[in-house]
Structure 1
């Protein structure tokens, strides 16, 4: 079993989730049930899947969870681009 809190990638992704929550507070209320939850779920999926993967016994299982993290990161990248293009957030 790995201690997820010892990994830089987990710490950075956790801090990023906190920033995402801060930024999404400024997104218009009309996105309360649409874009905001999607952004937040994609963001917290990264450190949560990493920590779940750390609990797995095999490297193969751990790597599978890393792939899930990468998928969430790409999904989040799109949502951030969308929010920027909709002028909800800035660079």
Structure 2
């Protein structure tokens, strides 16, 4: 791979971020500036850490940024529960976004294991 855009993990994180922005830009969710901003930042953090780690050029740095990206996925999933509990998401919306986040997390985990073996 030559570019971070080629990473499946980054591509999936981008789709997740797009979905998060779509859901946070409507209704009551949009008016909860604290949660809205926080969940958006968590989603963007996943993408950004994948890109930054990849561009660092060392497997050690990449591994460290993968750990951070995976943790941001967990933060995002936790915030999805807050959104569900406050009625900002329906159960089906919550499940779809949570599923996307878990998929991103799994792909990052696999990538992290591969990078770890290279170190």
Query: Displacement of 1:57 after TM fit?
Result: 2.2
Alignment of 1:50-69 (within 5 A): 50-69=50-69
Kept after mapping to 2: 8 A contact 1:27/1:36: no
Matched, 1:31 2:32: yes
Q: What CA RMSD, in Å, does the superposition of the two structures yield over aligned residues?
A: 1.5
Q: SS where residue 56 of structure 2 aligns?
A: coil
Q: SS where residue 89 of structure 1 aligns?
A: coil
Q: SS where residue 78 of structure 1 aligns?
A: helix
Matched, 1:8 2:8: yes
- TM-score, scaled relative to structure 1: 0.91
2:72 match: 72
Query: Displacement of 1:15 after TM fit?
Result: 1.0
Q: Deviations over 1:26-52 (max 9, x none)?
A: 2514412x1000000000100111000
Q: Which stretches in structure 2 are left out of the alignment for 5+ residues?
A: 93-119
- TM-score, scaled relative to structure 2: 0.71
2:83 match: 83
Cα distance in 2, alignment partners of residues 30 and 6 from structure 1: 35
Q: SS where residue 45 of structure 2 aligns?
A: helix
